[in-house]
Amino acid sequence: MVAKIIDGKTIAAEMRAELKAEVTSLFEHNIVPGLGVVLVGNDPASTSYVTAKERACAEIGIYSDDNRLADDADERQLLDLVERMNADPKIHGILVQLPLPRHISEEKVLLAIDPRKDVDGFHPVSVGRMVIGQDTFLPCTPHGVVQLLVRSGVNLDGAEVVIVGRSNVVGKPLANMLIQKSGTGNATVTICHTRTKDLAKHTRGADIVIAAAGRPNTVTADMVKDGVVVIDVGVNRVADSTKKSGYRLVGDVDFEGVSRKASLITPVPGGVGPMTITMLLYNTVASAKRFAGR
Ligand code: NAP
């Protein structure tokens, strides 16, 4: 079997077109979705994420309020900025790019965000609501994974899913979404991590394997069954002297080997990555509608 590719770029483009149409119809009612963005310092990776998010907002008509603070900005300055955005009716979502410099408490800053504007879905109120299946902001990367599965026609109902990774940003929320009693849930989920005794024993029994370990070749062909669906969340740099940068990006899955057995698989790059920003746009538009009572 040779796997079909789940093309994250195409699915993300489809969703962004849907969102752009929604934003256009909100304009007709004088509603402009707004995202407040905060970047502290000038870490190159964080700067490029934030720039990509701001560009994506502009492309679909979301207003973005961009705030760059110096590396040595103090916690109070950041908390004041969050307070200002909490009170600003033009802003429906607040995004504080993580990680923050060490002298600022991420926990304090995330707690300061009004849960009604928590479009990253990291506030404990959002997490709690997600766990008990209430309407809330779902965190962007795991929500993007669910959308890739659903929009590729993968049947989740009763599916055996193995997630490799238990982080608060990917593994844990994803497991919670997939076990919900809903049309985008109803799966039977196992979460594996570095203390899992026999990872391959679990992955071999899975209908769907989702790798979010942050380590190349965590999932290889001998670890999956024929026809498996594979979602690779991992993004890793490996040295490659043929590239100008000296490296290339790979996922956590041995793509070549596994794609000979899988029915569907995401590439890296071009799989989960394009969905993450798309789901941030989705949450911002949803928030604007909620604030407007629509
Ligand atoms: P993380 O916080 O480092 O968590 C990694 C998890 O994987 C941990 O739970 C760890 O177990 C587990 N793990 C690591 N090696 C393992 C192994 N050999 N066997 C079993 N479990 C293993 O990482 P993260 O933030 O969740 O991110 C995971 C990957 O996704 C990274 O490559 C990251 O760059 C990528 N990512 C991509 C996007 C995107 O938009 N495309 C967004 C977020 C993250 P322990 O808990 O036992 O340590």
Contact 213, 234 (CB under 8 A): yes
CA 103 to chain centre: 26
Give catalytic status of residue 147 as yes or no. no
- Residue 157 catalytic? no
Positive or negative, the CA dihedral 207, 227, 254, 202 is positive
Q: Is 117 marked active-site?
A: no
Question: Cα–Cα distance between 47 and 97 in angstroms, integer?
Answer: 9
φ/ψ of 207, rounded to 5, equals -80, -30
* Digit-coded pLDDT (tens) for 21-49: 999 999 999 999 999 999 999 999 999 99
Give the torsion sign (CA, 222, 225, 227, 229). Answer: negative
Q: How far is the CA of 166 from the centre of ligand 1 (A)?
A: 7
Nearest to 210 by CA among 286, 275, 142: 142
Mean pLDDT of 280-294: 97
Q: Give the integer Cα–Cα distance in Å for 73 and 288.
A: 30
Letter for the amino acid at 18?
E
User: Which three-class secondary structure string do you get for 17-60?
Assistant: HHHHHHHHHHHCCCCCCEEEEEEECCCHHHHHHHHHHHHHHHHH
- Identify the pLDDT of residue 218: 98
Atom of ligand 1 at shortest range from CA of 144: 40
Tell me: the pLDDT tens digits for 145-200? 999 999 999 999 999 999 999 999 999 999 999 999 999 999 999 999 999 999 99
| pLDDT of 83 over the 90 cut | yes
What the block records as the tokens of 265 is: 């698989």
Please state, in angstroms and rounded to a whole number, the distance separating the CA atoms of residues 137 and 123: 9
The pLDDT value recorded for residue 114 is 98
| Pick from 185, 189, 253: nearest CA to 219 | 253
Nearest C-alpha neighbor of 83 from the set 111, 59, 57, 112 = 112
pLDDT of 202 strictly over 90: yes
What is the H or E stretch that residue 112 is in? helix 106-112
What local confidence, expressed as pLDDT, does residue 1 receive? 75
User: From the CB of 219, is ligand 1 less than 6 Å away?
Assistant: no
CB–CB of 270/7 below 8 Å? Answer: yes
Decide: 187 and 208 in contact? Cβ < 8 Å: yes
State residue 134 phi and psi, 5-degree precision: -90, 160
Work out the mean pLDDT of the chain and round it to a whole number: 97
Q: Cα–Cα distance between 292 and 45 in angstroms, integer?
A: 34
Counting residues of the chain whose pLDDT is more than 70, the rounded percentage is 100
Residue type, 50: V
Distance 257 CA to ligand 1 centre (A): 21
Cα 199 to middle of ligand 1, angstroms:
14
pTM: 0.97
pLDDT at 105: 97
The answer to whether the CB of 236 falls within 8 A of the CB of 217 is no
